[in-house]
């Protein structure tokens, strides 16, 4: 991976910012007042988007494994599995980026495939169950140079949905294929097809049974007391996997894969396969992958909103991500998170949840993994 591109890209923006900060306007004796007013306005604007975390520089690959569980529900065993899985995804994704002629798409697809194959993440092998006891998988991928994209949704037999999403992007004129049509396409394309039982894991099955039991108990209580049926405290799994990357040519890519919400109903599709909601990439701004309550991410076009705040308002990648995740989405009642990477290698991690399973690797190969840490 050639880090020179990242270094060159970072200089021009810094110089322009410095120049603009030193402009003053002199009108009679009002020079000082104008300068002070400008400073106050800039400080006010900066304070309006308080960063939860500072963007990390010189990143070539960032990943997430979902917003996950409240910290009090985390066990030592689960934490160990999550950290090992994230580290492996970073290692393999970074290795893919080092190969000759590798693109950011290669890093994104490789990292997500690792997480899809890991039963401890809600994607691929570790996908949650629907209300009817099925595993229905969604994924999408997008590149930032030409803004080509591909997605699959509601699939039950494709071992690695992220690879199918890339195949849709590269081998068809379409953006999204769903259900049986996507599965027929994947088989014809030579992708690995598995029996639906491959995706079953005991911890996810138990999770569904617990939710179904809670639903029955809540319904019985309503019948006895005649009260309104209260929603479950957290009726969905805040888990998805995703990756963002930049290659030596400065091209961005993003991808997202998920099993969706545990106990989801009637062929429900969330934000993960929806371009502009769960996934987006544009070399003019950033690459984004999201996780959380998908209906809100669709309604607020979260990944696209982050990108256009950078392009049209000039916000930094961290400011844009925080503006959408920590302000707009939170105010609307939407829980979740996003990771975002700009062409200079600045990596933002923003969440309005207690945790975000995430990691990144810098151009020199140094890896970092975090779950609840700031």
Q: Which are the catalytic amino acids?
A: 240
* Tokens of residue 136, six digits: 């229905």
Q: Are 78 and 119 in contact (CB under 8 A)?
A: no
CA distances 193 to 8, 208, 256, 285, Å, are: 43, 25, 20, 36
Quick one: which of 121, 115, 136 has its CA closest to 260?
A: 136
Phi, psi of 211 (to 5 degrees): -70, -40
Q: Roughly what angle, to the nearest 10 degrees, separates helices 104-116 and 161-171?
A: 150
User: What Cα–Cα distance (Å) separates residue 184 from each residue in 138, 164, 193, 194, 269?
Assistant: 15, 11, 10, 13, 19
The whole-angstrom separation of Cα 327 and Cα 306 is 12
Three-state DSSP at 353 gives: coil
Q: Is the dihedral of CA 62, 256, 289, 11 positive or negative?
A: positive
What residues contact residue 334 under an 8 Å CB cut-off, 6+ apart?
292, 293, 295, 296, 297, 300, 352
β pairing state of 176-178 and 149-155: parallel
């Amino acid at each position: 991976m050639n880090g020179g591109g990242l270094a060159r890209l970072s200089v021009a923006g810094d110089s322009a910012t410095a120049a603009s900060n030193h402009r003053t306007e002199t009108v009679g004796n009002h020079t000082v007042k104008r300068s002070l007013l400008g400073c106050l306005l800039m400080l006010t604007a900066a304070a309006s988007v308080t960063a939860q975390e500072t963007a990390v520089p010189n990143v070539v690959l960032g990943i997430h494994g979902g917003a996950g569980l409240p910290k009090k529900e985390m066990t030592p065993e689960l934490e160990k599995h999550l950290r090992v899985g994230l580290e492996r995804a970073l290692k393999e994704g970074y290795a893919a980026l080092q190969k000759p002629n590798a693109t950011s798409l290669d890093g994104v697809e490789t990292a997500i495939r690792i997480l899809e194959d890991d039963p401890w993440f809600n994607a691929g092998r570790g996908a949650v169950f629907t209300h009817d006891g099925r595993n229905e998988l969604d994924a999408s991928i997008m590149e930032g140079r030409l803004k080509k994209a591909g997605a699959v949704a509601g699939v039950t037999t494709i071992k690695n949905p992220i690879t199918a999403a890339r195949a849709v992007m590269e081998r068809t004129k379409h953006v999204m294929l769903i259900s049986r049509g996507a599965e027929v396409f994947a088989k014809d394309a030579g992708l690995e097809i598995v029996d639906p039982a491959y995706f079953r894991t005991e911890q996810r099955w138990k999770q569904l049974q617990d939710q179904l039991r809670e639903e029955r108990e809540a319904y019985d209580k309503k019948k006895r007391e005649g009260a309104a049926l209260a929603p479950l405290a957290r009726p969905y799994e805040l888990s998805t996997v995703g990756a963002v990357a930049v290659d030596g040519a400065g091209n961005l890519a993003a991808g997202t894969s998920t099993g969706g919400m545990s106990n989801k109903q009637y062929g429900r599709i969330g934000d993960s396969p929806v371009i502009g909601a769960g996934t987006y990439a544009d070399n003019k701004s950033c690459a984004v992958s999201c996780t959380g309550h998908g209906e809100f991410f669709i309604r607020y076009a979260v990944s696209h909103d982050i990108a256009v705040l950078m392009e049209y308002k000039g916000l930094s990648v961290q400011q844009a991500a925080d503006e959408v995740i920590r302000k707009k989405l939170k105010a609307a009642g939407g829980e979740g998170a996003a990771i975002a990477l700009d062409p200079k290698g600045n990596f933002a991690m923003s969440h309005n949840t207690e945790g975000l399973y995430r990691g990144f690797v810098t151009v020199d190969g140094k890896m970092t993994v975090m779950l609840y840490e700031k």
